């Protein structure tokens, strides 16, 4: 049996950074499940389709090739908005479910060629739907303003033009769509450890997560 850690939370709460550090620390393979939805959204846009069209979006999700997850365009805000639209479509979520569960069950070998101890998946519904039996679940949050500020800085560092007010607006729009949809909305599992990173730096968030995971005696 491999160990599964689920990390959920809204955009820019610090899930990605935290997940990468925990994966490194515990020797786990990591899957950023947001990339699956981003790649699906981008595939629909590239074909000239509408990400809100259930038929086009589900077909794109079914045709997804894991090699497409490396596309740098997936990091941009157009991809994020398209992801948030396709992800509300139940057929898209169903199409991506098997891939995520298979990753959790049979994690790929690590970059250095050593076998993984388990898997860490980050997303919106990992602890509630994808891996409800995960060994440890974390729900990472931060205030909307702190998350918008982080995303704004990240966009600037990558050389993208960004206006804070616009980033904040997009963040609120995406939060509302992710939390309000009927198919697997963003939600904390009852047994998730709530980690608010509003006033924490990456090191402090990591320490808090390690303290929680240690309490589970998994490693
Ligand atoms: O995490 P990230 O910002 O890359 O996710 C992009 C979008 O994909 C989210 O806004 C959400 O709508 C969707 N998503 C999801 N379920 C997941 C991961 C991401 O619905 N497990």
Cα 114 to Cα 77: distance, rounded to the nearest angstrom: 34
What is the 84 CA–ligand 1 centroid distance (Å)? 6
114 C-alpha vs ligand 1 centroid, how far in Å?
29
The mean pLDDT value for 27-45 works out to 97
% of the chain with per-residue pLDDT over 90: 94
Q: What's the CA angle centered on 80, arms 79 and 84, to 5 degrees?
A: 115
Q: Is the distance from the beta carbon of residue 123 to the nearest atom of ligand 1 less than 6 Å?
A: yes
pLDDT score, position 164: 96
Mean pLDDT of 45-64: 97
Domain containing 133 equals: 3-214
Segment 156-205, tens digit of pLDDT: 998 888 899 999 999 999 999 999 999 999 999 999 999 999 999 999 99
Given a contact cutoff of 8 angstroms between Cβ atoms, the answer to whether 40 and 46 are in contact is no
Better pLDDT: 18 or 77: 18
The number of domains in the chain is: 1
Q: Is the pLDDT of residue 59 over 80?
A: yes
pLDDT at 75 (0 to 100)? 87
Beta carbon of 79 within 6 Å of any ligand 1 atom: no
Q: How far is CA 59 from the centre of its chain?
A: 21
- pLDDT (0 to 100) of residue 55: 98
pLDDT band at 44 (very low <50, low <70, confident <90, very high): very high
Tell whether 166 is covered by a domain. Answer: yes
> For residue 49, with 0-12 CB atoms within 10 Å meaning exposed, 13-18 middle and 19 or more buried, which class applies?
middle
| In contact, 22 and 28? CB cutoff 8 Å | yes
Long-range contacts of 99-102 (CB under 8 A, 24+ apart): 99/36, 99/64, 99/66, 100/31, 100/33, 100/36, 100/126, 100/130, 100/131, 101/130, 101/131
Q: Report how far residue 2's alpha carbon sits from residue 177's, in angstroms, rounded to the nearest whole number.
A: 33
Is the beta carbon of 26 within 6 A of some atom in ligand 1? Answer: no
Residue 74 lies in a domain: yes
| Residue bearing tokens 């918008």 | 148
Tokens encoding 68:
């497409």
Give per-residue pLDDT as tens, 89-126.
999 999 999 999 999 999 999 999 999 999 999 999 99
Q: Among 20, 124, 174, say which to mutate for ligand 1: greatest number of ligand atoms within 8 Å of CB.
A: 124
CA distances from 214 to 116, 154, 190, 211 (A): 18, 31, 19, 5
Which pLDDT does position 159 carry in this prediction?
Answer: 86
User: What global pTM score does this model have?
Assistant: 0.94
What confidence score (pLDDT) does residue 206 get?
A: 98
Report the CATH number that the domain containing residue 162 is assigned in CATH. Answer: 3.40.50.300
The confidence band for 145, taking pLDDT boundaries of 50, 70 and 90, is: very high
Per-residue model confidence (pLDDT) at position 3: 97
Asked if residue 219 belongs to a domain, the reply is no
- Taking only the tens place, the pLDDT of each residue in 77-93 is 899 999 999 999 999 99
Taking Cα atoms as reference points, which of 131, 73, 63 lies closest to residue 97?
131
pLDDT for res 158 = 85
**How far is 121 from 137, CA to CA, in rounded Å?**
10
Classify residue 61: in a domain, yes or no.
yes
pLDDT averaged over every residue in the chain: 95
């Amino acid at each position: 049996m491999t160990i599964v850690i689920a990390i959920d939370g809204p955009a820019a709460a610090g899930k990605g950074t935290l997940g990468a550090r925990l994966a490194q620390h515990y020797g786990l393979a990591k899957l950023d499940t947001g990339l699956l939805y981003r790649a699906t959204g981008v595939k629909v846009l590239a074909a000239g389709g509408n990400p809100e069209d259930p038929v086009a979006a589900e077909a794109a999700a079914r045709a997804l090739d894991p090699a497409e997850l490396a596309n740098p365009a997936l990091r941009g805000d157009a991809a994020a908005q398209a992801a948030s639209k396709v992800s509300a479509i139940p057929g898209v979520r169903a199409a991506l479910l098997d891939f995520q569960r298979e990753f959790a069950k049979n994690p790929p070998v690590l970059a250095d060629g050593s076998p993984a101890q388990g898997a860490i998946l980050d997303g919106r519904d990992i602890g509630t739907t994808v891996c409800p039996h995960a060994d440890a679940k974390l729900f990472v949050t931060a205030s909307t303003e702190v998350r918008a500020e982080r995303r704004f800085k990240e966009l600037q560092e990558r050389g993208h033009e960004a206006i804070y007010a616009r980033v904040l607006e997009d963040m609120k729009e995406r939060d509302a769509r992710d939390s309000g949809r009927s198919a697997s909305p963003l939600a904390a599992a009852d047994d998730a450890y709530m980690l608010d990173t509003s006033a924490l730096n990456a090191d402090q968030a990591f320490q808090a997560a390690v303290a929680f995971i240690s309490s589970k005696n998994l490693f």
